[in-house]
Amino acid sequence: MAILDIRMPGRSGLDVARHLWESAATPSIIVTAHSDDAFLREASAAGGVFGYLLKPVSIESLRVQIAIAWTRAAADREMRDRIAQLEQNLRNRQTVEKAKWRLIERCGIGEPEAHARLQKAARDLRQPLIVLADRVLQTEDFAFLGLSARPQP
């Protein structure tokens, strides 16, 4: 966790907070003498800022702010990770669907059979379904699925 002032030599503490959050998922607390609305709005909008304390700061208020900021940053990080995982799952699902439809079009089989063959090959070859779906999309050789492409007219 970084504890920053808004006005620092060479660079704004808010810019540093954004950079730390984006590059290393490091949360920040701003400790400053500035309490006007413009600074508050900018700090609220800055990525990575999870606390804002006015000087002078007591040890107790800093301890409480760190605990709250750490908890909120962890929850934010967990949510971002979950979103990234869901987005990856969606991309994988779309790839599998494309592969199934390629098998349907090229091999003249139905959707349930295409899906079953991909799943069986994943089990038999001990490879993730997405790996085999990518393989289907990159080749016309479907022998690893026990299929062959029909000649295209």
In a domain, 137, yes or no: yes
Q: Do 52 and 97 fall into the same domain?
A: no
Q: Do 7 and 51 fall into the same domain?
A: yes
CATH of the domain at 131: 1.10.10.10
For 107-124, what is each residue's pLDDT tens digit?
999 999 999 999 999 999
The three-point CA angle 141-145-149 to 5° equals 40
* Nearest-angstrom CA–CA distance, 14 and 32: 11
For 123-140, what is each residue's pLDDT tens digit?
999 999 999 999 999 998
pLDDT band at 39 (very low <50, low <70, confident <90, very high): confident
> Domain residues for 134?
86-145
Q: Do 51 and 10 fall into the same domain?
A: yes
In a domain, 7, yes or no: yes
Tally of domains within the chain: 2
In a domain, 76, yes or no: no
For 62-102, what is each residue's pLDDT tens digit?
999 999 999 999 999 999 999 999 999 999 999 999 999 99
Q: Which residue has the tokens 């295209």?
A: 152
Cβ distance 145 to 123 under 8 Å? no
